[in-house]
């Protein structure tokens, strides 16, 4: 009889176990925590953004995008969505982002665990897998609960993002122990640190902005949304979506800069458009102190940060400023440039960029090309997505493929 171990009871591990189980095999999930799916409960601020309608490859990052394309097919996407419907999840879809209608991540967790239970899949919690060896046709797992033997093993241990949830990067060692290579792992979907003297002054402000990311002075990406200004730098969804590129750029010693447009409502294409807007306001407000002219659209703390940066006193009026000073204000509003010096650590990251190379798995089954019967899923692999449900989307699809993959060793399987 086939005996399948799934190492890690997170998103991809639960999915893999469900798809691997038939009435002819034994499937056991080994989870180091005292419960499964600890990270899943934290996703989407406790609401679990489990999918996104727009599955464009652009939303994903990997060194091996051609392989990734073979994993994220339309058919597999449809199958995953049908699976969630079948296990009882009613989606609430907002701008293409999927959440359970209950608005609770626990609904997804419980639906998966009910499915696991009803299929007779075993779960051993508080069981840390410390090493794996393959001898002849068997895998020997050294665990905190003693040695165990299996015919196939699915490694679903996650990355090293948010290690307090159990994913501390030990899966990379398992992968390298079987000769696999790891694309350098960096924090992603993570706040960014800035080098500037004004951070304490803007800390606590939330602002709707447009951000433009520059890598060695080349424009690479634009994002719109709300950012949080903090005493170390910037945070927020659009900042997160830059963070993987920033982390890789900084690792290669590139100059990474972000221009913050604090007046995105103007849809300005050039600084002159912002200047015209200010000149128009100045018709009525031009003889009032400059902070009063700006306060109708800019947070008070930001007004002082901007004026301090360009050495203009708040008591000055627009009409007494030189043309150059007026232009400087417009420029700061349109493209306030900050130098990024680092990302926050893995503790603060939602995911990791990098991981085990996709070139070393069969994209149809997630099986290792080095070792028969060994599979890898989820964030452990060199795939990360933007905010918006992409990381869980990959966890579900890769888990499903690995689960189906083990069935090829079952001579009676129709899959
Ligand atoms: C705060 C936060 C919010 C997020 N929000 C979203 C969101 O809304 N949408 C989205 O798509 N993505 C989100 N993500 C990312 C998403 O949660 C992950 O991409 C996804 O959970 C990865 O699934 P996984 O199965 O690869 O790993 P994980 O879910 O991390 O599961 C790995 C499991 O393996 C266990 N484990 C590790 N090593 C061992 C071992 N040696 N032995 C036994 N067990 C082991 C761990 O304890 C863990 O339970 C979020 C992440 C965080 C941190």
Q: What is the pLDDT of residue 414?
A: 58
pLDDT at 415 over 60: no
Ligand 1 centroid from CA 282, angstroms: 53
Residue 117: count of CB within 10 angstroms of its CB: 11
- Nearest C-alpha neighbor of 228 from the set 195, 247, 210, 202: 202
Residue 256 Cβ < 6 Å to ligand 1: no
Q: What is the pLDDT of residue 409?
A: 81
| 225 CB burial (10 A radius; 0-12, 13-18, 19+) | middle
Asked if residue 80 belongs to a domain, the reply is yes
Burial 65-104 (b: 16+ CB within 10 A, else e): eebbeebbeeebbebbbebbeeeebebeeeeebbbbeeeb
Asked if residue 230 belongs to a domain, the reply is yes
Asked if residue 415 belongs to a domain, the reply is no
Residues 131 and 66 in one domain: yes
| Atom nearest to 15 CA in ligand 1 | 25
Q: How many structural domains is the chain composed of?
A: 2
Query: pLDDT for 185-207, tens place per residue?
Result: 999 999 999 999 999 999 999 99
Ligand 1 centroid from CA 39, angstroms: 5
User: Nearest residue CA, atom 52 of ligand 1?
Assistant: 350
pLDDT at 411 over 80: no
Asked if residue 13 belongs to a domain, the reply is yes
Residues 297 and 151 in one domain: no
Ligand 1 centroid from CA 176, angstroms: 20
Q: Give one DSSP letter per residue of 241-260, joined into a string.
A: HHHHHHHHHHHTT--EEEEE
pLDDT at 408 over 90: no
Residues 128 and 226 in one domain: no
Q: How confident is the model at residue 274 (pLDDT cuts 50, 70, 90)?
A: very high
Asked if residue 365 belongs to a domain, the reply is yes
Indicate the SS3 state at residue 229.
Answer: strand
Ligand 1 centroid from CA 387, angstroms: 14
Q: How confident is the model at residue 413 (pLDDT cuts 50, 70, 90)?
A: low
Ligand 1 centroid from CA 41, angstroms: 10
pLDDT (mean) for 63-71: 97
* pTM: predicted TM-score of the whole model, two decimal places: 0.95
Among 343, 373, 397, identify where a domain stops: 343
- Strand 361-362 and strand 3-7: pairing? unpaired
Asked if residue 27 belongs to a domain, the reply is yes
Query: pLDDT for 132-141, tens place per residue?
Result: 999 988 999 9
Query: pLDDT for 303-312, tens place per residue?
Result: 999 999 999 9
Residues 51 and 159 in one domain: yes
Q: What is the pLDDT of residue 252?
A: 95
Q: What is the pLDDT of residue 363?
A: 97
Ligand 1 centroid from CA 67, angstroms: 22
Residues 158 and 14 in one domain: yes
User: Nearest residue CA, atom 29 of ligand 1?
Assistant: 10
Ligand 1 centroid from CA 378, angstroms: 8
Residue 7 Cβ < 6 Å to ligand 1: yes
Residue 44 Cβ < 6 Å to ligand 1: yes
Phi first, then psi: give them for residue 352, nearest 5 degrees.
-115, 145
Ligand 1 centroid from CA 333, angstroms: 39
The answer to whether the beta carbons of residues 380 and 212 sit under 8 Å apart is no
Q: Both tokens of residue 243?
A: 């963070």
Using CA atoms, how far apart are residues 170 and 176, in angstroms rounded to an integer? 10
Residue 285, domain extent: 192-343
3 phi-psi bin (left φ>0, alpha ψ -120 to 50, beta other)? beta
pLDDT (mean) for 19-32: 96
Q: What is the pLDDT of residue 327?
A: 97
- Strand 384-385 and strand 146-150: pairing? unpaired
Q: What is the pLDDT of residue 283?
A: 96
Residues 126 and 7 in one domain: yes
pLDDT at 64 over 70: yes
Q: What is the pLDDT of residue 1?
A: 85
pLDDT (mean) for 79-83: 98
Residue 241 Cβ < 6 Å to ligand 1: no
Q: Both tokens of residue 285?
A: 């407000």
Query: pLDDT for 143-173, tens place per residue?
Result: 999 999 999 999 999 999 999 999 999 999 9
The answer to whether the beta carbons of residues 187 and 294 sit under 8 Å apart is no
Among 316, 343, 370, identify where a domain stops: 343
Query: pLDDT for 277-334, tens place per residue?
Result: 999 999 999 999 999 999 999 999 999 999 999 999 999 999 999 999 999 999 999 9
pLDDT at 412 over 80: no
Best mutation site among 15, 167, 240 for ligand 1 pocket (most ligand atoms within 8 Å of CB): 167
Residue 383 Cβ < 6 Å to ligand 1: no
Question: Which CATH number does the domain housing residue 377 bear?
Answer: 3.50.50.60
Phi first, then psi: give them for residue 414, nearest 5 degrees.
-95, -10
Element (H, E) at 402: helix 390-406
Share of the chain above pLDDT 90, in %: 97
Share the mean pLDDT of the chain: 97
pLDDT (mean) for 371-399: 98
**CA angle 334-338-344, nearest 5°?**
130
Q: What is the pLDDT of residue 113?
A: 98
User: Nearest residue CA, atom 10 of ligand 1?
Assistant: 389
The answer to whether the beta carbons of residues 375 and 16 sit under 8 Å apart is yes
Ligand 1 centroid from CA 399, angstroms: 12
Residue 44 makes CB contacts below 8 A (sequence gap 6+) with 50, 99, 105, 389
Burial 285-322 (b: 16+ CB within 10 A, else e): bbeeebbebbeeebbebbbbbbbebeebeeeeebeebe
Indicate the SS3 state at residue 186.
Answer: strand
Residue 389 Cβ < 6 Å to ligand 1: yes
């Amino acid at each position: 009889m086939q005996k399948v171990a799934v190492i890690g009871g997170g998103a991809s591990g639960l999915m893999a176990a469900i798809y691997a189980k038939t009435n002819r095999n034994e499937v056991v999930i080994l989870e180091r925590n005292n419960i499964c799916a600890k990270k899943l409960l934290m996703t989407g601020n406790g609401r679990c953004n489990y999918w996104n309608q727009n599955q464009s490859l652009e939303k994903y990052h990997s060194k091996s995008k051609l392989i990734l394309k073979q994993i994220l097919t339309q058919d597999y996407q449809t199958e995953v969505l049908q699976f969630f419907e079948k296990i009882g999840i009613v989606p609430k879809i907002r701008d293409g982002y999927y959440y359970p209608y209950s608005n609770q991540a626990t609904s997804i967790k419980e639906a998966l665990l009910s499915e696991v239970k009803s299929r007779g899949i075993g779960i051993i919690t508080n069981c840390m897998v410390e090493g794996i060896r393959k001898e002849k046709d068997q895998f020997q797992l050294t665990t905190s609960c003693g040695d165990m033997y299996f015919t196939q093993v699915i490694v679903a241990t996650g990355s090293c993002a948010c290690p307090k949830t159990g994913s501390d990067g030990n899966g990379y060692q398992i992968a390298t122990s079987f000769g696999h290579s790891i694309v350098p792992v960096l924090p992603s979907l993570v706040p960014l640190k800035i080098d500037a003297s004004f951070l304490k002054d803007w800390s606590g402000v939330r602002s709707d902005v447009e951000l433009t990311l520059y890598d060695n002075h080349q424009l690479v990406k634009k994002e719109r949304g709300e950012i949080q200004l903090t005493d170390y730098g910037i945070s927020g969804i659009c900042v997160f979506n830059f963070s993987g590129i920033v982390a890789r750029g900084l690792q290669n010693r590139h100059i990474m800069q972000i221009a913050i447009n604090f007046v995105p409502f103007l849809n300005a294409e050039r600084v002159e458009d912002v200047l015209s807007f200010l000149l128009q306001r100045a018709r009525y407000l031009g003889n009032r102190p400059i902070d009063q002219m700006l306060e109708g659209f800019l947070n008070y703390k930001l007004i002082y940060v901007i004026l301090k940066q360009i050495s203009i006193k708040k008591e000055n009026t627009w009409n007494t400023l030189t043309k150059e000073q007026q232009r400087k204000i417009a420029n700061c509003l349109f493209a306030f440039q900050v130098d990024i010096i680092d990302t926050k650590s893995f503790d603060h990251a939602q995911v990791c960029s990098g991981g085990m190379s996709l070139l070393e798995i069969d994209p149809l089954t997630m099986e290792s090309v080095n070792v028969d019967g060994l599979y890898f899923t989820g964030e452990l692999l060199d795939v990360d997505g933007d905010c918006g449900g992409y990381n869980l989307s990959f966890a579900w699809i890769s888990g499903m493929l690995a689960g189906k993959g083990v069935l090829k060793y079952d001579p009676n399987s129709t899959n």
